[in-house]
């Protein structure tokens, strides 16, 4: 497939080392606007590092990473400007514990987007409605369940109106019964056409929304296929083995 002008993430030959540890090896990945990419693989495979490179939370040593047309890592100012096109959701939620749910959502709107308090609160409430938790606007994160916190984190990331959402194992820290409420929100987001890169082992979610599934192991992308091919019979032997293991139980 050729790189089109609406490619929002374009990664070519990406290499990253943590000291002597080679964590990303010649990674190529293109994400077109309006598509969903699920990244899976065993722990330590580099998938979290990869997604953290996309918004510049991690630097890389070799290759190119273009985000919304900006080459990351060249200038701090340009990297910061490109990062504004992204929203990120973490495994451990990372809500600000000293701020209410509403203030968690309005902080960047006010400080980064320069909105007034009233505007920011309107926008934040709209997104809290979208993740079905407007009644908790005045609560503090510590008073919410994990699933609720993660939904607030999604709303917070959506507030800056990102062009792409990055999810780094958003359900891995959740109790099983809370995973569904978070995945439901993510499915709704996908149906609304949000561009998403999602590191997850939720294969049901991948099957439902992903256009492309990427399988990583040892810092390499071993398999990259449409979800139909990935879950069908055409996949790479290593990803077949991985799928068999996690789908068995």
Partner 1 sequence: MGFDLAFALSSVPTILGAVGTTLFVALVSCIGAAATGFLFEMVRRVGGIAGLLIGFVIDFIRSTPVLAWLYFLYFVLPFYGIRLGSMTVGVMGLSLYYSGYLAEVFKAGIDAIPRGQSEAARALSLSRRDAVIHVIAPQMLRNIAAPLGNYFVSILKATPYLAVLAVPEMLGQAFDIASETYRYTEPLVVAGIIFLVLALAISHGVKRLEQRLLAVGAR
Given the complex with partner 1, which of 98 and 191 has the nearer CB atom? Answer: 98
Given the complex with partner 1, which of 85 and 239 has the nearer CB atom? Answer: 85
CB of 246 to partner 1, least distance (A): 26
CA–CA distance, 121 with 107 (Å, rounded to integer): 10
CB of 178 to partner 1, least distance (A): 18
Q: How many CB atoms are located within 10 Å of the residue 240 CB? A: 15
Contact by Cβ (8 Å): 106, 183: no
Which is nearest to 28 in space by CA: 236, 240, 212? 212
CB of 58 to partner 1, least distance (A): 10
Q: Which ranges of the chain does DSSP label H, i.e. alpha helix?
A: 47-54, 76-83, 101-111, 117-130, 146-158, 176-191, 203-209, 227-231, 237-248
Given the complex with partner 1, which of 86 and 227 has the nearer CB atom? Answer: 86
Given the complex with partner 1, which of 165 and 183 has the nearer CB atom? Answer: 165
Given the complex with partner 1, which of 19 and 237 has the nearer CB atom? Answer: 19
At what angle are helices 101-111 and 146-158 packed, to 10 degrees? Answer: 20
Given the complex with partner 1, which of 109 and 178 has the nearer CB atom? Answer: 109
CB of 89 to partner 1, least distance (A): 9
CA–CA distance, 152 with 156 (Å, rounded to integer): 6
CB of 220 to partner 1, least distance (A): 25
Query: What residues make contact with partner 1 under the rule CB under 8 A?
Result: 55, 57, 80, 83-84, 86-88, 90, 92, 94-99, 107-108, 111-112, 140-143, 156-157, 160
- The conformation of residue 87, written as its DSSP 8-state character, comes to E
Locate 146 and state its tokens: 């994990």
CB of 233 to partner 1, least distance (A): 38
Spatial CB neighbours of 234, under 8 Å, sequence gap ≥ 6: 225
């Amino acid at each position: 497939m050729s790189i089109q002008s609406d490619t929002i993430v374009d990664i070519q030959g990406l290499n990253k080392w943590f000291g002597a540890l080679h964590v990303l090896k010649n990674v190529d990945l293109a994400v077109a606007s309006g598509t969903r990419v699920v990244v899976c693989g065993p722990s330590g495979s580099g998938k979290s590092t990869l997604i953290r490179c996309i918004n510049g939370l991690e630097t890389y040593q070799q290759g190119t990473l273009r985000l919304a047309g900006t080459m990351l890592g060249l200038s701090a100012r340009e990297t910061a400007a490109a990062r504004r096109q992204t929203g990120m959701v973490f495994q451990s939620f990372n809500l600000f514990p000293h701020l209410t749910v509403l203030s968690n959502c309005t902080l960047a709107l006010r400080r980064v987007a320069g909105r007034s308090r009233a505007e920011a609160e309107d926008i934040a409430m709209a997104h809290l409605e979208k993740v079905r938790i407007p009644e908790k606007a005045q609560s503090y994160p510590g008073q919410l369940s994990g699933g609720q916190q993660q939904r607030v984190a999604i709303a917070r990331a959506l507030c800056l109106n990102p062009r792409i959402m990055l999810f780094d194992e958003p359900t891995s820290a959740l109790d099983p019964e809370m995973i569904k409420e978070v995945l439901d929100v993510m499915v709704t987001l996908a149906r609304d056409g949000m561009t998403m890169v999602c590191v997850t082992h939720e294969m049901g979610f991948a099957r439902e929304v992903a256009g492309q599934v990427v399988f990583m192991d040892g810092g390499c992308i071993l398999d990259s296929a449409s979800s139909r091919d990935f879950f069908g019979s055409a996949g790479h032997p290593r990803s077949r083995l991985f799928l068999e293991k996690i789908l068995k139980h």
